Every structure is written in C-alpha cells, then in structure tokens.
Amino acid sequence: MGEMIKMVVVLTVLSVISGGGLKWIEEFAKPKIEAQVLENVKGPAIREILAGASNDPVESRFRIEDGEQEHTVFVGAFDGKADTVVLESEGRGYGGPIGLLVAVNVEKDQLLGVSVTTHTETPGLGAQAKDNPAFAAQFRGKPVDKPFAVTNDGGDISAISGATITSRAVVDAANRALTLYQNFKPQLTEEMQRAVK
C-alpha cells in the first residue's frame, strides 16, 4: 500500500511539473508563433488584397474589443488617405475552421476583396476557396449593407462545384466580418487615421 501511495505522489509531482513546463513553453512561444503567422500567412494575403497601398498594412494595424473578444484591424492607405480596413473572420467549413480576411473601403462602404488564409478543406474541392481567384473575385465591389449568400440560398455568390459547405463557410465568415465592420464603423474610422500616421 505504501509503494502505491509513493507511486501516485511521484506521478502527481511529475504531472504538475510537466504541465507547468508545457504551459510556460506555450506562453513563451505564443508571441513568436503569432508574429510568424502574421508575417508568413496573413501578411502576404493582406498585402495582396491591399495591393497599391502607400503604407504597409501589416505595420498599420490596431485592435478593437468586441465584448471579451479582441480583433486586429489592418489599415490600407491609397492616394495618401487611410480609407480601407481589413478584418479577420472565421467560418466553419467541411474540414474545419476557414480563416478569412475581408477588405472594406470605408468611404464607399464597399468590399475591396476577400482572401482565405487558413483552411483544412479537401484538396481540389474546398481548397479552391483559397486557390481559385475567380471565387474570391465574386465579392469584389459588393456593397456591405446586405448579407451575402450562395446562389443555392438565394444569393449571388456562386458556390464552388462540389464544395457548397466550404462556399457557405466563406460567405458566413464574410458576413461576420461585415457585421463587425457595421457595429464598429465609427471607431474604425477614427482609429484607422491614427494607425497610418
């Protein structure tokens, strides 16, 4: 009985030390991981959507709080004027979460573009949401005053053939970003001018 108690105590101590060590490593590595994701995954997509911006939109960013959730907003300046924001959003696809960036021209209340950043969708089918520029091009120039929907649901976004769930997830993510935009437009307009200076 004494050996069993000793073994339980030793295993408990080892578990606590291992768990604490892993948590420390996670906290230590978290900023580095976020910086790498920003520079190598999101950064290229943001710069592509905001091609021609006179600033570096990855450097010109700020955060807004929506309840307990915090959102990073990227700012694009064109012709010397900060007039475009890029918001991050997420939808639930067939294979898991789909990360989406949505660029909105604040002056025109118009979508400048969307870009899928991360996904685990089926190659050749759902992966086309990221790989097929024609799918993302459908969002360009659309007004932001009404929600998007795929054609199967009465909207005007053509779903990717064989990947309706993925298409709906991208549309859902775009709608979430637009809701955030509409809820925070006055704050976004104010903050974006500071972010570019």
Q: Which domain holds residue 108?
A: 46-196
- Is residue 36 over pLDDT 80? no
Handedness of CA 14, 20, 23, 25 (dihedral sign): negative
* Residue 87 belongs to some domain of the structure: yes
> Which structure tokens are listed for 147?
């929600």
- Rg of the chain, C-alpha, whole Å: 21
Q: How far apart are CA 26 and CA 30, in angstroms?
A: 6
- Is residue 48 over pLDDT 90? no
Q: How far apart are CA 167 and CA 192, in angstroms?
A: 30
Handedness of CA 180, 121, 155, 143 (dihedral sign): positive
189 CB neighbour count, 10 Å cutoff = 14
Partner residues linked to 76 by β-bridges: 84
**How much is the mean pLDDT over the chain?**
86
* Number of domains composing the chain: 1
Q: pLDDT tens digit string along 89-113?
A: 999 988 889 999 999 999 999 999 9
Q: What is the pLDDT of residue 85?
A: 93
- H-helix or E-strand spanning residue 104: strand 97-105
pTM of the full predicted structure? Answer: 0.78
